[in-house]
Chain A
Amino acid sequence: MASHPRPVSPHLEIYRPQLTSVTSILHRITGGFLSVGILPLVYWLIAAASGPDAFNQAQALAGSIVGRIFLFLWTGAFFYHLLNGIRHLAWDAGWGYELPAVYRTGWTVLIGTVVLTILAWVLGYWARGNV
Chain B
Amino acid sequence: MANARRSLRSELGRVRGLGSAKEGVQHWWMQRITAIALVPLSLWFVAGIVFVIDVDRATAIQWLGSPLTLGLMSLFLIALIYHAVLGLQVVIEDYIHSHATKLVLLLLIQFAGFGLAAAGIIAMLLITIYGG
A residues with CB within 8 A of B: 28, 31-32, 34-35, 38-39, 41-42, 45-46, 48-52, 55-56, 59, 62-63, 71, 75, 78, 82, 85-86, 88-89, 92, 120-121, 123-124, 127-128
Not counting A45-B120, A128-B54, a sample of 15 additional A-B residue pairs whose C-beta atoms are within 8 angstroms of each other reads: A32-B87, A38-B80, A42-B120, A42-B123, A45-B64, A48-B123, A48-B127, A50-B132, A51-B132, A52-B57, A78-B46, A89-B32, A120-B46, A120-B50, A127-B51
Residues of B within 8 A of A59 (CB): 53-55, 57, 60
Partner of A42, one of B42, B64, B119: B119
B residues with CB within 8 A of A: 32, 35-36, 38-39, 42-43, 46, 50-51, 53-55, 57, 60-61, 64, 73, 80-81, 84, 87-88, 91, 116, 119-120, 122-124, 126-127, 130, 132
Query: What CA separation (Å) do A55 and B60 show in the bound complex?
Result: 10
Query: Taking the nearest CB of chain B, how far is it from the CB of A35, in angstroms?
Result: 4
Residues of B within 8 A of A46 (CB): 119-120, 123
CB–CB B88/A35 < 8 A: yes
Most chain A beta carbons < 10 A, residue from B32, B54, B73: B54
Partner of A124, one of B36, B51, B119: B51
Query: Taking the nearest CB of chain A, how far is it from the CB of B2, in angstroms?
Result: 41
Partner of B91, one of A28, A56, A89, A120: A28
